[in-house]
Structure 1
Amino acid sequence: MNDVITLFLCGDVMTGRGIDQALPHPAPPDLYELWVQDAREYVSLAEAANGEFPKPMAPAHIWGDALAELAHFRPHLRLINLETGITRHGTPWPDKGIHYRMSPENAACLQAARIDCCSLANNHVMDWGVDALRETCRVLDGLGIAHAGAGEDLGAAMKPARLDVTTGHRVWVFSLGMTDSGIPPEWHAARGRPGVWLATEASAAGAEPVAERIRAHKRPGDLAVVSVHWGSNWGYRIPKGHREFAYRLVEAGADLIHGHSSHHPVGMELYRGRPILYGCGDFINDYEGIRGYEIVQPDLTLMFFPAFDAATGVLRSMSMTPLRRARFSLHRTGKDDARWLCEMLNRERQGDDPEFRLDDAGRIQWDLAQ
């Protein structure tokens, strides 16, 4: 419909380490972790947990059933948080326990899902140093994929991505992070220093620099998306400062807060008709076979398809597709897993926010008509 703009969003897309090793053109497998020094071990762990899969994988393999969902919803914009540097080279960042990278030749996996924009302000984009960040940006530019949140200096990191989605309608994507997600403070971009855009604090006052840029760029008919990497990996508690930060951005004109860093989906909220996704959960990773935190079912994830009124920016509908990761691919879940996710979202919802319901197709709907 011409009067609706539909987006696709998901959480962390971590195509480095084991995922990169299983694709056709892997980077060197060397790791500097406490327990694992060869990224190919993560491929072995995944196969031990869920069975063997063909290797090298086709670039589209990692998306699995997500591709059919994208074809079904036909979103105007596809936005991910790319939590991986794109390089074969670089020096591992010192005193950082985990280092993700994907070779530039394997970046074709992003094209396989026709990704339009990558948020880069996260705690892995500079794992292999400043030159690796520069190469990441060059590769995305070469693929025609927009990006925001990191760059050659603070001005570049703060610059939003502009996506012309329909005639007369643009989507602005602002990307930033917080140190509570594990982003090293020294990654903060500055004048003459490459890096990521870091918020000064999680509060209404800390949101003001972002609010200023929303007001400077947004015009009638535009949508403003703020993609923010914040918070801990595990658990459902939303810090008070995160809520205040998000509310201030909505008040300044943000139409959607795209939160990520949590390894599993967490609660969401509707504020002034705009959705706040506090944590979308990992979407693609190489964690299969790694035990712990089973209580939150970390192998489950969601695709988010918000549809906005093109004229007003108010949320018209929100559909979510439950998926399960296995064999380095994404698979539609059964009804029990989908129901578990739906019940979690209802448990974590705020006050008078609409309830979530599971439809006959196994998708979760935010019942905005309530």
Structure 2
Amino acid sequence: MTLRLGLTGDVMLGRLVDEQQLARVPGAVWGDMLDRLQTLDGLCINLECCLSARGQQWRRTRRTFHFRATPDWAVPALEAAGVDCCALANNHVLDYEEPALLDTLDELDDAGIPHAGAGRTESAALEPAFFPVGDRTVAVVSLTDNTPEYAATATTPGTAYVEIDVDDAETRRTVETALGQARSRDPDLLIVSLHWGPNMETEPPEAFQQFAHWLVDDGVDVIHGHSAHVFQGVEVYDGRPILYDTGDFVDDYAVDPSRRNDRSFLFELSLTPSGSPAELRLYPTEIADFAVHEASDEAASWSRERMRSLSEPFGTAFDRAGEALVCALGG
């Protein structure tokens, strides 16, 4: 039986999304994508906000934006979509300081939603998340190179922070520690979710490509990138998908008219009986009314063409299946 695992870019449920959702049912934030999300056998997102009604805005260093969602609707919304794992290593999980981060961890724990990338200490932040997809086990390691002041320490809460540099001894030690913990339970699929790089960049730098290749060479099955707010090209390296950036899935951000950060995809992996990725399907999405929707014909056409163009330098070619782009993997 083929199992399907969905991956999304940034899910930011604060600010205007939060305001709108206080007057809507929790599942409304997923728009007409809700049915598709619910049919997946697994779903992993980057949660780009904290879940809390506590805390004060981070002022220790300059921060322009602060994202916080009301747990009373946000947690039921995650449950409604069938979210199985939240990557938390990003530059917003501490926007309302430690109390809100700790609430986020507790809210997800109480809901039984595994998470990785942030914790009460550095060792906790590096702990992988595990969740089942059918009868297979998926492990997720979540890391970020954003906002070093949010990094967890041996005694303080924060994120799993690394420099994206394969030659940096501290980075290699940190990543190997996290991967070793993930492998300790012999998962069928190992994902590294990376919140890396600056905003609005349409191509990954050479250092990111080297880092992704190093991870695959070290046994990682899927690279799940995000942070740029716009999707980047897909590379298939040694049969493993490298999603350099999955863009934005839902938020309230201003839209760049050329880079179109309101457009992206639901990235769907089909898994072999052994749990390896066999096929990648990209379903076009767009954000409107502070919710995610299936892309309009015009938006879908634009996104498919742009993804093909951005992926071509990596030697990645896509076929078309209905509204989706399809790419065979190594299996």
- TM-score normalized with structure 2 length: 0.92
Match of 2:305 in 1: 343
2:246 to 280, 284, 288: 280
2:289 is aligned with 1:327: yes
Q: Check the 8 A contact 1:176/1:198 in 2, yes or no.
A: yes
Alpha-carbon distance, 1:202 to partner: 3.0
Q: Check the 8 A contact 2:26/2:73 in 1, yes or no.
A: yes
Q: Check the 8 A contact 1:207/1:248 in 2, yes or no.
A: no
1:190 to 150, 153, 158: 153
- TM-score normalized with structure 1 length: 0.82
Match of 1:76 in 2: 41
Which whole-Å CA distance do the structure 1 matches of 2:245 and 2:98 have between them? 27
Which whole-Å CA distance do the structure 2 matches of 1:128 and 1:352 have between them? 39
SS in structure 2 at match of 1:132? helix
2:57 to 92, 109, 133: 92
Which whole-Å CA distance do the structure 2 matches of 1:163 and 1:98 have between them? 31
Match of 1:50 in 2: none
SS in structure 2 at match of 1:341? helix
SS in structure 2 at match of 1:349? helix
Q: Check the 8 A contact 1:339/1:358 in 2, yes or no.
A: no
Which whole-Å CA distance do the structure 2 matches of 1:63 and 1:269 have between them? 28
Alpha-carbon distance, 1:215 to partner: 4.1
2:124 is aligned with 1:156: yes
The aligned amino acid for 1:316 is A
The aligned amino acid for 2:238 is R
Which whole-Å CA distance do the structure 1 matches of 2:65 and 2:275 have between them? 43
Residues 224 and 204 (structure 1), Cα distance of their counterparts in 2 relative to 1, 3 Å cut: farther
Q: Check the 8 A contact 1:204/1:248 in 2, yes or no.
A: no
- Structural mapping, 1:39-58, within 5 Å: 56-58=23-25
Alpha-carbon distance, 1:214 to partner: 2.2
Match of 1:199 in 2: 162
The aligned amino acid for 1:20 is D
2:271 is aligned with 1:305: no
- Structural mapping, 1:103-252, within 5 Å: 103-107=70-74, 108-167=76-135, 169-179=136-146, 183=147, 185-203=148-166, 205=168, 206-207=171-172, 209-218=174-183, 222-252=188-218
Residues 312 and 329 (structure 1), Cα distance of their counterparts in 2 relative to 1, 3 Å cut: closer
Residues 268 and 207 (structure 1), Cα distance of their counterparts in 2 relative to 1, 3 Å cut: farther
Alpha-carbon distance, 1:6 to partner: 2.2
Match of 2:317 in 1: 355
Alpha-carbon distance, 1:216 to partner: 4.6
Q: Highest Rg: 1 or 2?
A: 1
The aligned amino acid for 1:112 is A
Q: Check the 8 A contact 1:221/1:310 in 2, yes or no.
A: no
Which whole-Å CA distance do the structure 2 matches of 1:348 and 1:233 have between them? 17
Residues 157 and 212 (structure 1), Cα distance of their counterparts in 2 relative to 1, 3 Å cut: closer
Residues 188 and 343 (structure 1), Cα distance of their counterparts in 2 relative to 1, 3 Å cut: same
Which whole-Å CA distance do the structure 1 matches of 2:195 and 2:307 have between them? 20
| Root-mean-square deviation (Å) | 1.9
Alpha-carbon distance, 1:11 to partner: 0.4
Alpha-carbon distance, 1:351 to partner: 4.8
Alpha-carbon distance, 1:263 to partner: 1.1
Alpha-carbon distance, 1:208 to partner: 5.0
SS in structure 1 at match of 2:8? strand
Which whole-Å CA distance do the structure 1 matches of 2:180 and 2:189 have between them? 12
Which whole-Å CA distance do the structure 2 matches of 1:211 and 1:190 have between them? 17
SS in structure 2 at match of 1:262? coil
Alignment: residue pair count: 324
Q: Check the 8 A contact 1:338/1:358 in 2, yes or no.
A: no
Alpha-carbon distance, 1:257 to partner: 0.5
Q: Check the 8 A contact 1:86/1:132 in 2, yes or no.
A: yes
Q: Check the 8 A contact 2:17/2:291 in 1, yes or no.
A: no
Alpha-carbon distance, 1:236 to partner: 1.2
More deviation in 120-129 or 210-219? 210-219
1:66 to 33, 37, 41: 33
Residues 102 and 216 (structure 1), Cα distance of their counterparts in 2 relative to 1, 3 Å cut: closer
Q: Percent identical across equivalent pairs?
A: 35
Alpha-carbon distance, 1:204 to partner: 5.3
The aligned amino acid for 2:141 is F
